[in-house]
Amino acid sequence: MIDAGLVEHFRRICGHEHVLTDRHELRTYESDGLRHYRSPPAVAILPASADEVRQVVRACHDARVPWVARGAGTGLSGGAIPVENGVLIVLTRLNRILEVDLDNQRVVVEPCVTNAAISKAVGPSHFYPPDPSSQVVSTIGGNVAENSGGLHCFKYGFTTNYVTGLEIVLSDGEVVTLGGKELDRPGYDLVGAFVGSEGTLGIATRITLRVVPEAEAHKTTVGYFESIEQAGQAVTDIVAAGMVPAAIEIMDKLTIEATESWTHAGYPLDVGAALIVELDGSEAECEARFGDVMEIYERNGATGTRVAQDENERALIWKARKAAFAAMGYVSPYYYVQDSVIPRTRLAEVLKRIDELSREYGFKVANVFHAGDGNLHPLVCYDARNAGELERAEELAGAIVVACVEAGGSITGEHGVGLDKKRHMTDMFSEQDLEAFQRLRCAFDAEQLANPDKVMPTPRLCGEVPGPYRKHPLEQAGVAERF
């Protein structure tokens, strides 16, 4: 339990009403997007500024109390789930856009500005490319912590490709500025190391992002196929033709059914898969490539196609895709989202394996994925009201992860390891690899107070660092030599 004196101290820092200890109030924060894990914090604190964050973190350090930072709580790997008897630092009040420097294509924000707010602040001439489907609510701080991706990553890259500077509060309360608006500042790329560190290295309190100009033209197309394999082959052909579309997404039949129930975007319900390909660039380039895409759809047996006629139709096509997770509720009371990645060329065989597993376990698995990146999101549909189903759904999801790693892939493409995939870290990494990761963590947070139970499969310590090698006096004198 947290000492009453410490709670009083938090209240002096942030104000009485911003320090929550009431059991009912804390409920709100016991879980994140990984809803079947729950653990209320002992205290939830809502600081108003970077300096209040620093003071709170410092106080936790002095009392050796672990803490977890939280943005919007939409994370799907349990990253923001509190530690028992720890503090939850809720950043929602740090929500200001501090600077829009369009001349230099930079935006400086506090962590709880939403992803969508960035593009809004710089549009319509510019935009912020990483666009997770949760963008209307998920925060830049959360995106930075998870290195979030989105629909336009195949061409544009991920959050990590757009963060140029960070101010972070380390777990001992030290404030460090890394990078800035400028590129290639001398020193280690600690911005690169921090992005994707899942809240375990510190709290980002100020974030500098790069934005880019909107392309001259977009051409958004959908091809409908009888099978997901045909859609997959079309993706392979598009990439082999040397195209780098802005987005390449596939939804299977079950996903289309779910998302249509909600968005009524006009996807036909009688097809096996829909492949969305969005080209962008100059008008001429889009036109030239558009014909190639249509030809590839046809060659792979497309039963129909759709081309967005205007910006509204483009938005509608994407609305359906972005709603895929949330809409799953229409076809299944509970679902479990996976996030594994495979080399794209192994798509057909891995999908076959997922299908086999789905039959074996007797659960429906919907497939919706970032096809260009090979990032699958199998959604395992189950009913938690039936005893044992959650466990079996998790087991099935785990088997899918293993199949993807065996195909040369990764356990997570964008949702992070968090609590959810800790146990799979050893499927991908050796003990030596994990030890190397731990070195980074220890350099940032030797006490391991920041989000302590996440990412690493087993707890490990930060030993004292031996000092630099010093010569023995005899060696120094040239009397002895070491071999």
Question: Which residues contact ligand FAD by CB under 6 A?
Answer: 32-33, 68-76, 79-80, 91, 111, 132-134, 138-139, 141-143, 145-146, 148-150, 198-199, 203-204, 325-326, 414-415, 451
Q: Is 230 in the site for another protein (CB under 8 A)?
A: no
Name the one residue in this structure whose structure tokens are 């060659």: 299
The interface partner of residue 142, options being another protein, ligand FAD, none and the CB cut-off 5 to 8 Å by kind, is ligand FAD
Per-residue interface string for the shown chain with another protein, residues 419-448, x marking contact by CB under 8 A: --x---x--xxx-xxxxxx-xxxxxx----
The interface partner of residue 402, options being another protein, ligand FAD, none and the CB cut-off 5 to 8 Å by kind, is none
State which H helix or E strand residue 45 sits in: strand 43-45
Per-residue interface string for the shown chain with another protein, residues 282-321, x marking contact by CB under 8 A: xxxx-xxx--------------------------------
In this chain, which of 412, 452, 453, 454 binds another protein, going by CB under 8 A?
Answer: 412
Provide the phi-psi class of 449: left if phi over 0, else alpha when psi is between -120 and 50, else beta.
alpha
- The full DSSP string for 92-154 is TT---EEEEEGGGTEEEE-TTSBHHHHHHHHTTTEE-----TTTTT-BHHHHHHHT---TTHH
Residue 437 CB neighbour total at 10 angstroms: 16
119 vs 394: CA distance, rounded Å: 36
Whole-angstrom CA distances from 279 to 152, 154, 369 are 10, 11, 18
Which one of the spans 10-18, 133-141, 275-283, 384-392 is the region binding another protein (CB under 8 A)? 275-283
- Helices 347-361 and 228-240: angle between axes, nearest 10 degrees: 160
Please say whether the beta carbons of 149 and 158 come within 8 A.
yes
| Residue 34 vs 296, nearer CB to ligand FAD | 34
- The full DSSP string for 301-346 is T-SEEEE--SHHHHHHHHHHHHTHHHHGGGT-SEEEE---B--GGG
Q: Is 470 in the site for another protein (CB under 8 A)?
A: yes
Write down the least CB distance from residue 467 to ligand FAD, Å. 31
| Residue 22 vs 103, nearer CB to another protein | 103
The interface partner of residue 442, options being another protein, ligand FAD, none and the CB cut-off 5 to 8 Å by kind, is another protein
In this chain, which of 99, 189, 349, 383 binds another protein, going by CB under 8 A?
Answer: 189
| Residue 233 vs 278, nearer CB to ligand FAD | 278
The interface partner of residue 251, options being ligand FAD, another protein, none and the CB cut-off 5 to 8 Å by kind, is none
239 vs 261: CA distance, rounded Å: 32
Q: Which residue is nearest to ligand FAD (CB)?
A: 142
| Residue 198 vs 280, nearer CB to ligand FAD | 198
Q: Which of residues 25-84 bind another protein (CB under 8 A)?
A: none
The interface partner of residue 111, options being another protein, ligand FAD, none and the CB cut-off 5 to 8 Å by kind, is ligand FAD
Q: Is 153 in the site for another protein (CB under 8 A)?
A: yes
| Residue 61 vs 289, nearer CB to ligand FAD | 61
The interface partner of residue 341, options being another protein, ligand FAD, none and the CB cut-off 5 to 8 Å by kind, is another protein
The interface partner of residue 71, options being ligand FAD, another protein, none and the CB cut-off 5 to 8 Å by kind, is ligand FAD
Q: Is 118 in the site for another protein (CB under 8 A)?
A: no
Write down the least CB distance from residue 33 to ligand FAD, Å. 4
Please say whether the beta carbons of 450 and 199 come within 8 A.
yes
In this chain, which of 5, 16, 17, 188 binds another protein, going by CB under 8 A?
Answer: 188
Apex 357 CA angle, 356 and 359, nearest 5: 65
| Residue 306 vs 322, nearer CB to another protein | 322
Q: Is 21 in the site for another protein (CB under 8 A)?
A: no
82 vs 452: CA distance, rounded Å: 10
Residue 316 CB neighbour total at 10 angstroms: 17
- The full DSSP string for 234-273 is HHHHHHHTT---SEEEEEEHHHHHHHHHHH-----TT-SE
96 vs 50: CA distance, rounded Å: 11
Write down the least CB distance from residue 190 to another protein, Å. 7
273 vs 249: CA distance, rounded Å: 10
Write down the least CB distance from residue 43 to another protein, Å. 27
Write down the least CB distance from residue 157 to another protein, Å. 6
In this chain, which of 98, 136, 465, 474 binds another protein, going by CB under 8 A?
Answer: 465
| Residue 213 vs 304, nearer CB to another protein | 213
Write down the least CB distance from residue 373 to another protein, Å. 4
Q: Is 322 in the site for another protein (CB under 8 A)?
A: no
309 vs 221: CA distance, rounded Å: 10
- The full DSSP string for 200-223 is SS-EEEEEEEE-EEPPSEEEEEEE
Q: Are strands 87-90 and 43-45 parallel, antiparallel or unpaired?
A: parallel
479 vs 269: CA distance, rounded Å: 84
| Residue 388 vs 468, nearer CB to another protein | 468
- As a whole number of Å, the CA-based R_g of the chain is 24
112 vs 71: CA distance, rounded Å: 6
